[in-house]
A and B are shown apart, each in its own frame.
Chain A
Amino acid sequence: MPSKTKALLTFAGRFLLVFFLILPLWFVFTPTYNRLLAFSANIVLPFADDPHLNTLLGWKHDILIVRSDTPFTRGMKLQGFTGTLTHFNLILMVALVLAPRQVEWRRRCTVLVAALGLLFVTHVVYLLVGVKFFQQPELEAFQDPVGRLYVWGVNFYLSIASQLFPVLLWMALYRTIGGVSKTEDTEPEAAARRWRI
């Protein structure tokens, strides 16, 4: 087996190991992270929500939208986000950062902190866009262009972006602070050696 293929398979194996080790931890951590996200989004929400009627509430594995103009009654249905769908990409991100072998631990930690910070920002932005999404009429014909953009944004996040963003982030951070040397970076013929995993 060629050494590059072997390295790739080792990378895949390490990824799977880290991924399934983090998975149960992430389920435990989810309610706390949901509350943190709701708290952070609530700070920014007044600037995006006009008039400001909505407040986010981290509740177990969900993030709920509470409206100030609707009295809270027992048994009422609330709109909200499934926390697991909002930030499941954290596991993918952590597994991608921890899986490669040839990265120093200091650099790895720097990449991890930067990546998690950026993901946190995207989660907050998703919640803000999501609040607008829930305000749109269900039928597309009744949505204004900005409303359609919110709907498009939420669908795009859930279909593609939530999983793609960690991969792009990992590639960008891996190249900049993750250990690819500048000499290698600038050599045109280095394409085949670029991914030392």
Chain B
Amino acid sequence: MLRINAQRVPLVRAYVVFIVSVLTLYTLLRTSMMREYVSEPLAVAFASVSGLMLNLLSLKATASGTSLKVEGFGVQIDDVCTGIFVVAIYLSAVLAYPSRPGEKLKGLMLGASAILILNLIRVISLMYIGLYLPRFFETAHLLVWQSLIIFSALLVWIYWTERFVGAFQD
């Protein structure tokens, strides 16, 4: 029979909460209802705000729905590109880490804002890469930025555990 050291119980519980939460949130976000009410509006918002920012940066950008065009180069922002899945991972990590509800709320606000802002920078930078260095677009889009976003989520989470979370509850 599997016996878990009493001191390890919070740790095991945290891992279980994290895994269950990631799987649940991922499955939920893949449903058509969540796509319609969360992912799609978020993608539209990303396209609009990125278009606005690119215009402020002196590029002629146009956003329509989830598509974004800059001087002949265009992209379609889908749900994976909004950073919503990384926010889901981060939310799961915050939920799983032993802390008070108020601390969790602060962690969620801090992390979700940081991830979404970084994702906005990602979209804008990708438009520049697509326009001026199209050879590197796929590498930057699918490989480099994905890793950097998840790493940033890890950094924010560590920051939150160090600066906002007190002692363990158990």
Using CB atoms and an 8 Å cutoff, list the residues of chain A in contact with chain B. Answer: 2, 4-5, 8, 11-12, 15, 19, 23, 84-85, 88-89, 91-92, 95-96, 155-156, 159-160, 163-164, 167, 186, 188-189, 191-192, 194-195, 197
Give the residue of B26, B98, B154, B166 whose beta carbon is less than 8 angstroms from that of A167.
B154
Number of B residues near A (Cβ < 8 Å) is 30
- B-side interface mostly: helix
| Chain B residue with the shortest CB-CB distance to A26 | B143
Please state if A23 and B22 are interface contacts (CB–CB under 8 Å): no
Residues of A within 8 Å of B88, CB to CB, are 160
Residues of B within 8 Å of A15, CB to CB, are 151
Please state if B151 and A191 are interface contacts (CB–CB under 8 Å): no
Closest A-B pairs by Cβ, 6 of them: A188-B168, A163-B150, A92-B147, A189-B167, A88-B143, A195-B158
Give the residue of B7, B30, B147, B165 whose beta carbon is less than 8 angstroms from that of A163.
B147
In Å, the complex CA distance between A163 and B149 comes to 9
Residues of A within 8 Å of B158, CB to CB, are 8, 195, 197
Please state if A192 and B162 are interface contacts (CB–CB under 8 Å): yes
| Chain B residue with the shortest CB-CB distance to A12 | B155
Give the residue of A2, A84, A167 whose beta carbon is less than 8 angstroms from that of B150.
A167
In Å, the complex CA distance between A51 and B36 comes to 40
Q: Indicate whether A160 sits within 8 Å of B89 (C-beta atoms), given known contacts A8-B158, A155-B30, A191-B161.
A: yes
List residues of B (130-153) whose CB comes within 8 Å of A's CBs: 139, 142-144, 146-148, 150-151
Give the residue of B154, B155, B161 whose beta carbon is less than 8 angstroms from that of A192.
B161
